[in-house]
Amino acid sequence: MVTRADMYERKITFREVLESVKLAFKYLATAATPRERVLLASLYLLAAAAPVALSLLNRYIVDVASQLYDSADRGLLFKAIWIMIGALLATTSIGVLSLLLNPLRDTVFRTASDKVEEDMAKKCGTMRLERFHDTQFLDHVQFLMGTILGQMTGMTTRIAGIAMSVASSVGVLALVAGTAREVGLVMVAGIIPCVLLYRKQANIQYEEAYWEMPNYKRINYALGMFTDRVHVNEMRFYGLGDTIYQKWQNSTDAIVAERQALNLSLSFYNLLALVSMDIAMTVSLGIIAWRVFIGDASVGVFTMMATAIQNFNETLRHISHELVYVGYGAKYVSDFRHLLQDVESEVMLKGDEPVPDEVEIEFKDVHFRYPGTDRDAIDGVSVKFRQGEKVAIVGENGSGKSTFALLLTGLFAAQSGTVEFNGEELMSCLGKARKSISCVHQEHGQYQLSVKDFIRIGDLYRDVSDEEIAQAARTAGADEFIRKLPNGYDTNLGTLGEIGIDISGGEWQRLLLARALIRKGARVMVLDEPTAALDPKAEARLYSEFSQLTGDRTTILISHRLGITRVVDRILVFDKGRIVEDGNHAQLMKLNGLYARMYRAQAQWYV
């Protein structure tokens, strides 16, 4: 998949634009019932026909007026007035119709947009976790997330507008050419340089946007240093204000300079294009005026032409302008299409089966490497876990502990070797496996949910009562601080920052633990650094309650705090992606290897 920078670099092919347009309209079509589609289409058709109708009406009026002026025919006057009123009423009804259909149009576009949102969210939410470790890919996906809705809607709106404009232009041109062929030719001749010049402009704009991107990000980053709370301590103490301001200034200057040059060249080409049309229009009107002058055409023809070609000019400009954006937007839609088609989602097989009572997990010579790295993060690991084992995983940073946990839960897929869940390949029973495992990770989402719901989502497979939630919170030691929140369990976590409440890292960890506990049916628990943010007393409490918390579940615990290894049956020591030691505390201390060294490094303070 492409990165954000690539997106600006590559030129989009016509075929891709076509595919993108098709996709955009597919969403639109599915958002409207057939009857609604017809209604909306007719609306656009009417709008397209308007300029032609208007020009014809114009001609009629002026011709009739000149007749009236010459002949003073009363009957003609009344006829003209009636026709006029009729035309105005027709305009009114179209106007009213358009207004009536406006809410419908808006709803249809919104529904289409919501559907795009659905597909985008679903893809992001189900793509494999490895993708989140590919920084450039993730950056691009996040960028698409923020832009695709606007671009998709924009594209459909624009294309509809362009189609309408093209239809009306063709109509007007036909009218003009039908009346005076040479004028038609002159107009067409005037279009050609216009189109060429607009294309030139479009290319310039693409290149400029690409160039700007990195600087724009840097400007935003620098600004963020001043606006965001997280930086303020260091910004103030280290006195970084002037330095960061300078960085902002440099990037801004660069952008301003480029934009200035761009502005000049764009304006120049724009003016040329417009002037070429002006020349065509002037010549055309000259021809018509001559015709009228020598009596070859009526005065009405002149006013009709005047209106028509001015209208034609404006529509043309509109089309060229919009086409630029269509090409631009098509890139986004194309990337979106590739994202949906090419990026694989997790397949949650066997999610309906009941969770087995006994779970055995086995790794068989598993290898895994992060995208873009040149070394296996898990380099041939084989190990078996039986139901009920309490296992601690220790090792240096980067030794593979967390990666191992991710392979165990199927969040990562083994690249060679297998992970087996009760003898079955993990990837072919992912649904069942995930149901059986309950986790506390180091990174977690802070959702805009009530505390209750935040804990409740720990087990979406059944109905969880409020009482159970409170019980889990009590066990996890979270009940106390929850009760102190403004709305207790109904407090919305996402909005806490807005009303001045901060939940500390330790409190979050307790909430996560409560959520993990709510999954009563889980047979395996994976805890990744569950005490990292806790103070000594809170940490100690967790350790002493460890067996109550974990019950008879198989527990995999990753920790830097080696004290925990006292309450587990088994310790796995990771080093450079392999398990290098495996035993209980006493055994490993006797072994006097890596574990012993780490343990002594920590323990020596507590003599």
Partner 1 sequence: MGWSLNRIAFIVWSLVTFSGALLPAFIIANIGRIVDQIASGISAGRDFGDIRNLILILGSLWVLQNLYSVAGQFSHRQLLNHFAPKMHKRLIEALDGVPVRRFDDPHFNDLTSKARGASESVTYFTMYVINFASQVFGTAGIFFVAARIRWYFPIVALLIMAVRFVVDQSAGRQVMDTWNEIVPLERRKKHFFYVNSKRNPAKDIRMLQLTDWFAALRSRYAKELRDKMHRIHVLRNRGQYLSVALDVVFSALAIVPSLIMVYARQMTIGELTMTWQISERLSGQMNSLATNFFGVYQHLADLKILKELLELCMSDERLPMIKALGHESVSNDPEPKSDNVFELDNVSFVYHGEHEALHGITLSIPRGQVVALCGENGAGKSTLVKIMLGLYSPTSGEIRFEGHPYGELERDYLLRKIGVAFQEPDRYNYTIRECIGFGNLAKLDDLAAVKEAARKGGAAEFIRDVAHDNYEANLGRMLYRDGLELSGGQWQRLGVSRAHIGDRDVLVMDEPASQLDPIAEYEQFKAVREMVHGRTAILISHRIGFARLADRIVVLKNGRIVEDGTHEALMRRKGEYAALFTSQAKWYADSEADGDTPGDQMPEAWAPAGDGLGGDVPGRDIHGSAVPDGDASDSTRPGGDAPGCAVPGGDVSDSTTPDGDAPGYAMLDGETLCQEAK
Segment 314 to 353, residues that bind partner 1, using CB under 8 A: 346, 348, 351
| Of the candidate residues 64, 186, 330, 393, the single one contacting partner 1 (CB under 8 A) | 64
In the three-class reduction of DSSP (H, G, I as helix; E, B as strand; rest coil), residue 169 is classed as helix
- Report, in Å, the least distance between residue 413 CB and partner 1: 12
List the 424-425 sheet strands across, edge first.
Answer: 378-385, 361-368, 416-421, 424-425
- Report, in Å, the least distance between residue 474 CB and partner 1: 19
| Of the candidate residues 38, 41, 347, 460, the single one contacting partner 1 (CB under 8 A) | 460
Query: How many angstroms separate the CA atoms of 241 and 426, rounded?
Result: 52
| Of the candidate residues 151, 201, 303, 550, the single one contacting partner 1 (CB under 8 A) | 303
Dihedral of CA atoms 278, 282, 284, 285 in degrees, nearest 10, equals 130
Tell me the per-residue interface mask from 349 to 388 with partner 1, x by CB under 8 A, - otherwise.
Answer: --x-------------x--------------x-xx-----
| Nearer Cβ to partner 1 (30/221) | 221
| Of the candidate residues 7, 539, 553, 554, the single one contacting partner 1 (CB under 8 A) | 539
Q: What are the phi and psi torsion angles at 352 (to 5°)? A: -90, -15
Q: What are the phi and psi torsion angles at 389 (to 5°)? A: -70, 140
Cβ pair 359, 426 in contact under 8 A: no
Cβ pair 214, 252 in contact under 8 A: no
Query: How many angstroms separate the CA atoms of 489 and 474, rounded?
Result: 12
- Report, in Å, the least distance between residue 14 CB and partner 1: 28
Q: What are the phi and psi torsion angles at 31 (to 5°)? A: -85, -10
- Report, in Å, the least distance between residue 256 CB and partner 1: 5
| Of the candidate residues 37, 231, 350, 474, the single one contacting partner 1 (CB under 8 A) | 231
Question: Which residues on neighbouring strands pair with residue 121, listed in sequence order?
Answer: none
List the 390-395 sheet strands across, edge first.
Answer: 437-440, 524-528, 554-558, 390-395, 570-575, 578-583
| Of the candidate residues 25, 91, 177, 474, the single one contacting partner 1 (CB under 8 A) | 91
Is residue 281 close enough to count as binding partner 1 by CB under 8 A? Answer: yes
Helices 299-342 and 34-71 sit at what angle, rounded to 10 degrees?
Answer: 170
Q: Which residues of 180-215 are buried (b: 16+ CB within 10 A; e: fewer)?
A: beebbebbeebbebbeebbbbbbeebbebebbbeeb
Segment 181 to 210, residues that bind partner 1, using CB under 8 A: none
Is residue 214 close enough to count as binding partner 1 by CB under 8 A? Answer: yes
Segment 571 to 590, residues that bind partner 1, using CB under 8 A: 572-573, 575, 578-584, 586-590
- Report, in Å, the least distance between residue 297 CB and partner 1: 10
Cβ pair 506, 530 in contact under 8 A: no
| Of the candidate residues 193, 388, 398, 488, the single one contacting partner 1 (CB under 8 A) | 398
| Nearer Cβ to partner 1 (95/521) | 95
| Of the candidate residues 154, 171, 395, 577, the single one contacting partner 1 (CB under 8 A) | 395
Q: What are the phi and psi torsion angles at 226 (to 5°)? A: -90, -30
- Report, in Å, the least distance between residue 52 CB and partner 1: 15
| Of the candidate residues 29, 81, 174, 347, the single one contacting partner 1 (CB under 8 A) | 81
| Nearer Cβ to partner 1 (13/487) | 487
- Report, in Å, the least distance between residue 257 CB and partner 1: 9
User: Which pair of tokens denotes residue 371?
Assistant: 């995208």
| Nearer Cβ to partner 1 (494/551) | 494
Segment 233 to 272, residues that bind partner 1, using CB under 8 A: 233-241, 243, 245, 247-248, 252, 256, 259-260, 263-264, 267, 270-271
Question: Which residues on neighbouring strands pair with residue 420, listed in sequence order?
Answer: 362, 425
- Report, in Å, the least distance between residue 274 CB and partner 1: 4
Tell me the per-residue interface mask from 494 to 533 with partner 1, x by CB under 8 A, - otherwise.
Answer: x--xxxx---x-x-------------------------xx
Residue located via tokens 């955009």: 24
| Of the candidate residues 26, 293, 386, 428, the single one contacting partner 1 (CB under 8 A) | 293
Closest Cα to residue 344, out of 91, 124, 186?
124
Contact region for partner 1 (CB under 8 A) — 13-21, 83-91, 184-192, 421-429?
83-91
Number of residues forming the site for partner 1 (CB under 8 A)? 189
The residue type found at 505 is: G
Segment 545 to 574, residues that bind partner 1, using CB under 8 A: 560-564, 566, 570, 572-573
Q: Which long-range contacts (CB under 8 A, 24 or more apart) does 503-508 make?
A: 504/533, 505/532, 505/533, 506/533, 506/534, 506/535, 506/538, 507/478, 507/481, 508/444, 508/446, 508/533
| Of the candidate residues 19, 117, 420, 545, the single one contacting partner 1 (CB under 8 A) | 117
User: Which pair of tokens denotes residue 173?
Assistant: 């041109």
| Nearer Cβ to partner 1 (236/520) | 236
| Nearer Cβ to partner 1 (247/474) | 247
Segment 405 to 444, residues that bind partner 1, using CB under 8 A: 406, 409, 411, 434, 437, 439, 441, 443-444
Burial of 374 per CB tally in 10 Å (0-12, 13-18, 19+): exposed
Cβ pair 273, 130 in contact under 8 A: no
Other beta carbons less than 10 A from residue 263's beta carbon: 11
Residue located via tokens 């704009």: 205
| Of the candidate residues 122, 338, 462, 520, the single one contacting partner 1 (CB under 8 A) | 122
Contact region for partner 1 (CB under 8 A) — 13-21, 180-188, 193-201, 276-284?
276-284
- Report, in Å, the least distance between residue 67 CB and partner 1: 10
Burial of 376 per CB tally in 10 Å (0-12, 13-18, 19+): buried
Tell me the per-residue interface mask from 5 to 44 with partner 1, x by CB under 8 A, - otherwise.
Answer: x---------------------------------------
